[in-house]
């Protein structure tokens, strides 16, 4: 990678043709200065402004999103303050809004999904990151994993509605719960399937970063492959694996449509894991279009703001760890 | 004792690998399950009528997905037109300014947009596009294809930016050197040398982004809203494939479920074909250095 310097990179590249040092510029910056002295100059500057503008646009979008969410949730922020987070009543017609049932629902479904997904995603990362790195079997599993990640959320909702819901209903009848079918557990199972590819592909990447020398060292001491995986590779890439799981959690917290189709959409703290509930995302999906009162709308936007802030923090945390690892590993 | 220990360790070794394989296969099996069931349920719903008719009044048997097909087509078109120019410029900026402070923050911003829950983007689409378009056209609150397309464009940005950045980064510096040495200004070098050489990477990024947004439902709920009537006016609400699948699945009618399965088949087939096309065709164009 070292030879792919950008034209704008500050470090001057030594001229390759030492003999013609008089003509050969020490850096492209200087070369450009000489070549485009007159006519090219203006085009050059405009082009740089355009490029930099492209960078700024993205920053402006993110700042704008945060700002819009804050500004639009002001009525709710002013009316309830921090008590919004602890309130258990959500009564749009009475003008009373408390977010606790949805916060509980969101955390419950996301962590349950994470719990269900872990054995599968970890196995998948080890399989693709160590046992089968190449070959037709690896290609098949990897392709299936990538295609699974590309299936839209609404399709998971559709499949869940006609597959998981009847199954759960039968289970609930069997063990004596109210047979809703839809509920926290159904949403979590489908959510788990949805986030497996995400954490698995990140886990695979960090496992591949484990230096060969470390593994060979362990083998030469007589370790079995299992021991190399569990005592060398996993500890070495532990923070990266956790980061992948964290990013998958972020996905699960914000997932909307599949959850809306499967969670039962009941605005109350779920009594048990089989009961219907509501997540922040599914509540917004269900009520935003019907929200007439300003306060109702503002409360939903405040929930959107909360969701945005939480997922943003998770993204920053997860990506930070992954970036640090891949930079350290490849250099 | 030593032998027993070895036997145990070897046994664990074999067992561990078996467990890993079993769980991995179980993890990707839902794909076969979903695809198989969609094909099984969906193909029976398909016929010519299915594609050339819109929705029928509730309770009446029959009807098709024409409204949703046209709506989704227009949404993808608008989203791509809005997203591609901006994200290519941003991607080139990031690739050409690897170490600048601004690029550092821009990269984080791109990650934040990518990690943002789609429902939050739906809220933003409502605030940024639906309300201003309503104000501009003077009508009350109007959901529209235009608003939905622009919202989806926000979702496309990070994908295209990243693929552009990665491709442009890999263009060998010697190519740019050659161009600069011929006296070509920097901006022409980017436009006539770097971008054409990166075309396959950029195109595959765009197609992957299209595959991603084609099935997105949440950002459309508060922007295009859905429409039981045929509409190709981009300033009016319309149906879209994912919206149709969502609404019909949640409805109590068997006939609508049938249409939902058929629509799911069409949508998934589209996304899979797009994915395979990117893998097999677009990545092959790649100029290798």
Average model confidence (pLDDT) across chain A: 86
B251 touches chain A (CB under 8 A): no
CB B178 within 8 A of CB B107: no
The length of chain B in residues reads 289
Beta carbons of A54 and B38 less than 8 Å apart:
no
Q: Would residue A229 count as lying in a domain? A: yes
Q: Which residue from A minimizes the CA distance to B269?
A: A151
Judge if A50 and A171 occupy the same domain: no
Which of A2, A51, A232, A321 to probe the B interface (max B CBs under 10 A)?
A51
Beta carbons of B117 and A316 less than 8 Å apart:
no
Give A196→chain B minimum CA distance, Å: 7
Beta carbons of B20 and A58 less than 8 Å apart:
no
Q: Which residue from A minimizes the CA distance to B9?
A: A224
- Cα separation, B120 vs A66, in Å, equals 10
Beta carbons of A226 and B190 less than 8 Å apart:
no
- Cα separation, B259 vs B244, in Å, equals 9
- Cα separation, B289 vs B286, in Å, equals 9
pLDDT more than 90, % of chain A: 70
Interface of B with A in 49-78 (CB under 8 A): none
Which of B150, B218, B259, B274 to probe the A interface (max A CBs under 10 A)?
B218
Give A38→chain B minimum CA distance, Å: 11
The string of DSSP codes covering B181-205 is: HTT--HHHHIIIIIHHHTHHHHHHH
Judge if A156 and A229 occupy the same domain: yes
| Count of domains observed in chain A | 2
Beta carbons of A153 and B216 less than 8 Å apart:
yes
Which of A14, A38, A72 is the last residue before a domain boundary? A72
pLDDT-derived band at B256 (thresholds 50, 70, 90) equals confident
pLDDT-derived band at A24 (thresholds 50, 70, 90) equals very low
Which segment of A16-30, A187-201, B114-128 scores lowest on mean pLDDT? A16-30
Beta carbons of A145 and B245 less than 8 Å apart:
no
User: What is the residue range of B96's domain?
Assistant: 48-285
* Per-residue model confidence (pLDDT) at position B230: 82
* Per-residue model confidence (pLDDT) at position B46: 85
Beta carbons of A44 and B117 less than 8 Å apart:
no
Beta carbons of B117 and A253 less than 8 Å apart:
yes
Contacts of B202 in chain A (CB under 8 A): none
- Cα separation, B158 vs A17, in Å, equals 40
Which of A63, A116, A155 to probe the B interface (max B CBs under 10 A)?
A155
What are the pLDDT digits (tens) for B36-79? 999 998 888 888 878 888 777 666 667 788 889 999 999 999 99
Q: Would residue B69 count as lying in a domain? A: yes
What are the pLDDT digits (tens) for A107-143? 999 999 999 999 999 999 999 999 999 999 999 999 9
B7 touches chain A (CB under 8 A): no
Judge if A89 and A185 occupy the same domain: yes
The string of DSSP codes covering chain B is: -HHHHHHHHHHHHHHHHHHHHHHHHHHHHHHHHHHHHHHHHHHTT-SHHHHH--PPPTT-S---SHHHHHHHHHHHHHHHHHHHHHHHHHHHHHHH-SS-HHHHHHHHHHHHHHHS-HHHHHHHHIIIIIHHHHHHHTSSS---HHHHHHHHHHHHHHHHHHHHHHHHHHS-HHHHHHHHHTT--HHHHIIIIIHHHTHHHHHHHHHHHHHHHHT--HHHHTTTB--SS----TTS-B--HHHHHHHHHHSS-HHHHHHHHHHHHHHHHHHHHHHHHIIIIIHHH----
User: What is the residue range of A40's domain?
Assistant: 28-72
pLDDT at A331 over 70: no
Contacts of A312 in chain B (CB under 8 A): 112, 115-116
Judge if A91 and A172 occupy the same domain: yes
Contacts of B225 in chain A (CB under 8 A): 289
* Per-residue model confidence (pLDDT) at position A36: 46
pLDDT at A308 over 70: yes
Angle subtended at Cα B13 by Cα B9 and Cα B17, rounded to the nearest 5 degrees: 165
| Count of domains observed in chain B | 1
Which segment of A76-85, B190-199, B222-231 scores lowest on mean pLDDT? B222-231
Judge if A34 and A101 occupy the same domain: no
Select from B128, B161, B249 the Cβ nearest to the Cβ of A161.
B249
Q: Would residue B42 count as lying in a domain? A: no
B286 touches chain A (CB under 8 A): no
Average pLDDT for residues A89-104, to the nearest whole number?
90
Q: Would residue A13 count as lying in a domain? A: no
Beta carbons of B221 and A250 less than 8 Å apart:
no
B221 touches chain A (CB under 8 A): yes
Model pTM?
0.88
Q: Would residue B235 count as lying in a domain? A: yes
Which of A13, A48, A72 is the last residue before a domain boundary? A72
Q: Would residue B127 count as lying in a domain? A: yes
What are the pLDDT digits (tens) for B258-275? 889 999 999 999 999 999
Judge if A67 and A97 occupy the same domain: no
Judge if A242 and A121 occupy the same domain: yes
What are the pLDDT digits (tens) for B126-155? 999 998 988 888 767 688 999 999 999 999
Contacts of A152 in chain B (CB under 8 A): 214-217, 242, 267-268, 271
* Per-residue model confidence (pLDDT) at position A1: 36
Beta carbons of A123 and B24 less than 8 Å apart:
yes
Beta carbons of B124 and A255 less than 8 Å apart:
no
Task: Output the domain CATH number for residue B138.
Answer: 1.10.3720.10
ipTM: 0.92
* Per-residue model confidence (pLDDT) at position A7: 41
Judge if A45 and A112 occupy the same domain: no
Q: Would residue B70 count as lying in a domain? A: yes
Give A161→chain B minimum CA distance, Å: 8
Beta carbons of A254 and B120 less than 8 Å apart:
yes
Contacts of A44 in chain B (CB under 8 A): 185-187
């Amino acid at each position: 990678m070292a030879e792919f310097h950008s034209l704008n990179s500050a470090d001057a590249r030594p001229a390759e043709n030492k003999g013609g040092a008089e003509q050969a510029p020490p850096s492209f910056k200087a070369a450009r200065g000489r070549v485009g002295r007159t006519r090219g100059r203006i085009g050059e500057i405009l082009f740089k402004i355009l490029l930099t503008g492209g960078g700024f646009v993205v920053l402006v979008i993110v700042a704008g999103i945060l700002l819009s969410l804050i500004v639009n949730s002001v009525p709710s922020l002013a009316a309830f303050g921090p008590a919004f987070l602890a309130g258990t009543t959500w009564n749009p017609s009475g003008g009373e809004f408390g977010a606790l049932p949805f916060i509980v629902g969101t955390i419950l479904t996301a962590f349950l999904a994470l719990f269900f997904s872990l054995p599968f995603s970890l196995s998948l990362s080890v399989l693709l990151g160590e046992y089968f790195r190449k070959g037709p079997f690896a290609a098949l599993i990897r392709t299936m994993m990538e295609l699974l990640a590309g299936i839209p959320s609404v399709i998971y909702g559709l499949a869940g509605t006609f597959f998981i819901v009847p199954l759960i209903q039968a289970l609930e009848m069997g063990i004596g719960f109210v047979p809703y079918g839809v509920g926290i557990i159904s949403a979590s199972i489908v959510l788990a399937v949805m986030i497996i590819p995400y954490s698995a592909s990140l886990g695979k990447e960090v496992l591949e970063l484990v230096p060969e020398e470390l593994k060979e060292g362990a083998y030469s001491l007589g370790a079995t492959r299992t021991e190399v995986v569990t005592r060398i590779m996993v500890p070495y890439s532990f923070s990266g694996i956790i980061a992948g799981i964290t990013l998958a959690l972020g996905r699960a917290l914000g997932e909307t449509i599949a959850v809306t189709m499967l969670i039962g959409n009941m605005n109350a703290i779920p009594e048990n894991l089989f009961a219907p509930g509501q997540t922040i995302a599914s509540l917004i999906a269900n009520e935003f279009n019907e929200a007439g009162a300003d306060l109702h709308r503002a409360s939903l936007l405040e929930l959107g703001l909360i969701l945005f802030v939480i997922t943003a923090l998770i993204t920053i945390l997860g990506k930070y760890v992954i970036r640090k690892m891949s930079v350290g590993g490849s250099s | 004792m030593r032998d027993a220990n070895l036997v145990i360790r070897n046994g664990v070794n074999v067992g561990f690998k078996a467990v890993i394989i079993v769980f991995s296969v179980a993890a990707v099996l839902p794909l076969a399950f979903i695809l198989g069931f969609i094909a099984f349920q969906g193909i029976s719903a398909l016929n010519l009528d299915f594609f050339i008719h819109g929705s029928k009044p509730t309770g009446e048997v029959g009807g098709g997905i024409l409204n949703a097909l046209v709506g989704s087509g227009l949404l993808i078109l608008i989203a791509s037109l809005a997203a591609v120019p901006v994200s290519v410029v941003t991607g080139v900026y990031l690739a050409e300014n690897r170490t600048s402070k601004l690029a550092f923050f821009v990269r984080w911003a791109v990650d934040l947009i990518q990690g943002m829950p789609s429902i939050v983007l739906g809220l933003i689409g409502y605030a940024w596009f639906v309300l201003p378009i309503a104000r501009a056209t003077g009508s009350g609150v109007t959901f529209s294809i235009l608003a939905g397309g622009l919202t989806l464009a926000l979702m496309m940005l990070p994908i295209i930016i990243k693929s552009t950045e990665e491709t442009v980064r890999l263009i060998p510096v010697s190519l740019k050197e050659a161009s600069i040495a011929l006296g070509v200004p920097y901006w022409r070098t980017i436009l006539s040398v770097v971008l054409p050489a990166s075309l396959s990477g950029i195109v595959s990024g765009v197609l992957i982004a299209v595959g991603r947004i084609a099935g997105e439902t949440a950002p459309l709920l508060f922007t295009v809203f859905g429409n039981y009537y045929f509409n190709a006016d981009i300033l009016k609400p319309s149906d879209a494939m994912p919206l149709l699948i969502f609404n019909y699945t949640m409805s109590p009618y068997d006939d609508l479920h049938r249409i939902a399965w058929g629509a799911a088949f069409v949508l998934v087939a589209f996304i899979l074909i797009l994915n395979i096309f990117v893998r097999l065709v677009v990545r092959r164009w790649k100029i290798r250095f």
